[in-house]
Amino acid sequence: MAAAAAGPFSLREVLDAFRRCVTEQREVLLEPYLSGWRGLIRFLQSLGAVFSFISKDAVAKVALLEGHQQQHGFVSLQSLVQHELAAGLAALRARSDSGCRTVLRLHRALRWLQLFLEGLRSGEPRTSVLCTDAYNASLAQHHPWVVRKAATVAFCALPSRDAFLEIMNVGSQEEAVAMLGEAIPYIGNVYSITQELFTQHKLLDLP
């Protein structure tokens, strides 16, 4: 364990961050949320250059949210939403740099991640098929044709299932699969709470 903590990046850190996200009051804490994303970005970057357009967008979005978080001292997603909604929904919709629209993009991407990890856990060996299916069931409907095309091409460069479980760096294949089984519900939880929050405030279609 100590060796793993001192060693190279492990996907376990990402999943631990998403586990730390949800409080007993069902608030989503921003610090672990962004920390989970930072880890995910490092992971995406390790997948090679074809993924750089995907990670670049996530980097920009995480940076914007860090800025908002530092400026206003938000602790949770709930407090960010409340703060931005205080100006009115119309004003919020008019902003292209709001925390809400930015979180919404990451939120949709989290669904993609959740579906992909579920597929990986299921044992389907073709990661590019898994990733494409997960994408089509989530983010794709929000992307223009050119982004969908580029994303689908990038997925073809994904490593095999065996290699993927290896680079997650959580131990043996069995351990990696067990960790996925443990972690996926936490990601699912973060996703559903955010989905509820955004539904409640009519924020699911922020431009």
User: Nearer to ligand 1PW by C-beta: 53 or 181?
Assistant: 53
**Nearest to ligand 1PW of 27, 57 (CB atom):** 57
| 66 binds ligand 1PW per the rule CB under 6 A | no
Task: Give Cβ neighbours of residue 143 (< 8 Å, ≥ 6 apart).
Answer: 151
CB of 174 to ligand 1PW, least distance (A): 21
Q: Does 139 bind ligand 1PW (CB under 6 A)?
A: yes
Residue 73 CB coordination number (10 Å) = 10
Spell out, one character per residue from 87 to 126, where the chain touches ligand 1PW: x when CB under 6 A holds, - when not: ------------------x--xx--xx--x----------
User: Residue with structure tokens 């804490």?
Assistant: 29
Grouping H, G, I as helix, E, B as strand and the rest as coil, residue 116 is: helix
Do the Cβ atoms of 49 and 72 come closer than 8 Å? no
Distance (Å, rounded) from C-alpha 123 to C-alpha 170? 17
Q: Indicate whether 20 belongs to the interface with ligand 1PW (CB under 6 A).
A: no
First to last CA, the chain: 44
Q: Which parts of this chain interact with ligand 1PW (CB under 6 A)?
A: 40, 44, 53-54, 57-58, 105, 108-109, 112-113, 116, 131, 139, 147, 151
